[in-house]
Amino acid sequence: MRIITYNVNGIRSAVKKGFIDWLKTDPADIICLQEIKANKEDVPVAEIKTAGYNVYSFSAQKKGYSGVAILTKIAPDNVVYGSNIEQSDFEGRVIRADFGDVTIINAYFPSGTTGEERQTYKYQWLDEFYEFINELKKTRPNLVICGDYNICHLDIDIHNPKGNKNSSGFLPEERKWMDKWFETGHVDTFRHFNKEPHQYSWWSAFAGARANNKGWRIDYISVTESMKNKLKHGEIRQQIVHSDHCPVFLELI
């Protein structure tokens, strides 16, 4: 099973930049998209199907905001829209698909960059999501949690750790949440394979950040410890440029 997580920063915008042609290269069996910024009826399902993928999407109530989708060549046994947490579901942040005994969670974690109110909500969401996952593990222990986590975990995951120590996405409280996440039964699949610095998945649109690789690693595929022996390969595909993010790839045996 080949899996990608990818914040496309607007599915319709990505399509204009060659997203469908990329899909036709068969980049993965299952692709988890975040920030699709489209209502269900505006997701270009027919175009995506020409590349061999079925589409399951969960949009925010607010038009042109947030939203997640799973594109898959493998028929899921079950799809669950939302996490049954009111505000998170209002913002279209979580979708789940079950494939045999493996469950894929696609999540778009909130950003706190717009101010204190959203940062406060981000902390609330993180706590709620942690409990949601722990509850789900009781019945579905083999989890793959894809998404834009909107947090850099370690100094190695950001181009300027000292300069960003007070930036949302690299705050001590957020990083502690990531510590807890990876210390309580989750594996950072990219770091399982690659310990090198300068491996980023998002770049600011300003000052040539992408060209100079001054980025942040905020997109992750985590798996539960029960899946660790299934890990075959993981990488960040920085050369793919439909978005200010790039795809993160995982292959399971």
Other C-beta atoms within 10 Å of 131: how many?
12
Other C-beta atoms within 10 Å of 232: how many?
12
Q: What angle do CA 167, 63, 207 make, to 5 degrees?
A: 35
Clarify whether 77 is annotated catalytic.
no
Which residue from 238, 250, 178, 237 is spatially nearest to 211, judged by alpha carbons? 238
* Dist. CA 220–CA 208, nearest whole Å: 24
Which residue from 186, 177, 182, 184 is spatially nearest to 228, judged by alpha carbons? 186
Q: Is 223 left (phi over 0), alpha (psi -120 to 50) or beta?
A: beta
Identify the sign of the CA torsion 232, 238, 241, 247: positive
Axis crossing angle, helix 172-183 with helix 116-137, rounded to the nearest 10: 10
Which residue in 42, 98, 127, 148 is the catalytic one?
Answer: 148
Our measurement of the distance from residue 240's CA atom to the centroid of its chain's CA atoms, rounded to an integer in Å, reads 16
Residues that are catalytic: 148
